[in-house]
Amino acid sequence: MKTVRTAIAALALTGAALPALANIITNPSFELTPGPGTGQGLLPANWINLAPPPGADTFSNDGSYGVFPNAFGNFPGVTAHDGLRWVAGGSGGIPINLVPEVFGQVLSTPLAPGATYQLSAYLIAAQRTDISGAGAYRVSLARDAASVASAIFLGSFDPVSSTTQWQARSFTFVAPAGARELPLLVFTPYAGGTRTAYPGIDSLSLTGEAVPEPGLMGLVAAGLLALGAWGRRRCLRP
């Protein structure tokens, strides 16, 4: 009987002992590229521009992909927080960048509705005068590139103003209903003040607790009921 009780208890505890998921974002530090390429409007592998050209840009320490950090006076003297590369998108409001340079990634593992996640990153502000405002990113979920305008808001990073030091930022959120049908994670740059911002972003991490499949949850519930029934029988036994 003790063996049976132990097995039921172990099953009931399964739902509470699920491990944390690994980073859900693919190529989170922007190191992998789809091939050679230099110039503006290029993004690393697994990332896509979701705004009209020129779009968000990739900066490489050595200029091997995208543009050099000092191109156009954007990030002179800055190196990636991790590895060789980072990405930056403008918040809009200047002639070359009228609308926010939105970009994103189709998650290989969709988020689970009702599950809690944490999204973290490192941010840095640009140095060029007309785009050096404090800024960060609002993050949302969309079905696809055509539905970005109706994306569901998840949260936002607090703005950063430092132009020389990468700043850690993070927020937590609960995945919305229907999240499994909303695989596109969308990053929208925004200005934290009146000046246009062009925040660099690197070292992304999206983690959460694993969510058991519905069938497993049914077994867990059955295990809890069995434990309760066994306890009641003990109390009633003369």
Same domain, 14 and 90: no
How much is the pLDDT for 226?
Answer: 47
16-28 pLDDT tens trace: 445 567 999 999 9
Residue 233 lies in a domain: no
Is the whole model's pTM more than 0.75, yes or no?
yes
CB 108 within 8 A of CB 118: no
236 or 87, which is more confident: 87
Residues 62 and 153 reside in one and the same domain? yes
> How many domains does the structure of the chain reveal?
2
The mean of the pLDDT values for the chain is 87
Same domain, 8 and 73: no
Shared-domain flag, residues 81 and 169:
yes
Within a domain: residue 165?
Answer: yes
Which pLDDT value is given to residue 209? Answer: 77
pLDDT at residue 185 greater than cutoff 50? yes
35 and 102 assigned to the same domain: yes
Position 220 scores a pLDDT of: 40
Dist CA 134 CA 195 (whole Å):
8
Do 183 and 218 fall within a single domain?
no
Domain assignment present for 185: yes
For the cut 60, the answer to whether the pLDDT of residue 188 exceeds it is: yes
**Of 1-5, 86-90, 204-208, the least confident:** 1-5
Give the pLDDT of residue 196: 96
Q: 117-130 pLDDT, tens per residue?
A: 999 999 999 999 99
Identify whether residues 195 and 84 lie together within a single domain.
yes
Element (H, E) at 206: strand 200-208
| Residues 71 and 7 reside in one and the same domain | no
What is the predicted pLDDT for the residue at 94?
A: 72
Tokens of 12: 């009931």
| pLDDT confidence tier of residue 43, bands split at 50, 70 and 90 | very high
Kindly tell me the burial class for residue 216, based on how many C-beta atoms sit within 10 Å of its own C-beta (0-12, 13-18, 19 or more): middle
As a whole number of angstroms, the distance between CA 98 and CA 178 comes to 32
Instruction: Flag whether 238 is in a domain.
Output: no
Q: Which range (37-46, 50-59, 69-78, 96-105) has the least confidence?
A: 96-105
* pLDDT tops 50 at residue 224: no
How high is the pLDDT of residue 227? 40
Q: Is the pLDDT of residue 231 over 60?
A: no
Task: Say how far apart CA 27 and CA 155 lie, in whole Å.
Answer: 21
Q: Does any domain span residue 237?
A: no
User: Does one domain contain both 74 and 93?
Assistant: yes
What is the H or E stretch that residue 233 is in? helix 214-236
Q: How far apart are the first and last CA of the chain?
A: 18
In terms of domains, do 60 and 98 share one? yes
Asked, for residue 236, whether it belongs to a domain, the answer is no
Contact 205, 23 (CB under 8 A): yes
Residue 100 lies in a domain: yes
Q: Cβ contacts of residue 217 below 8 Å, gap of 6+? A: 15
Calculate what percentage of the chain has a pLDDT beyond 90. Answer: 76
The whole domain housing 189 covers 20-210
* Residue 96: predicted pLDDT: 65
What burial class does residue 75 get, using C-beta atoms within 10 Å of its C-beta: 0-12 exposed, 13-18 middle, 19+ buried?
buried
Residues 42 and 140 occupy one common structural domain:
yes
Rounded Cα gap, residues 136 and 158, in angstroms: 6
For residue 88, the domain's CATH number is 2.60.120.260
Domain shared by 41 and 6, yes or no:
no
In a domain? residue 234: no
| Residues 47, 145: Cα–Cα separation, whole Å | 12
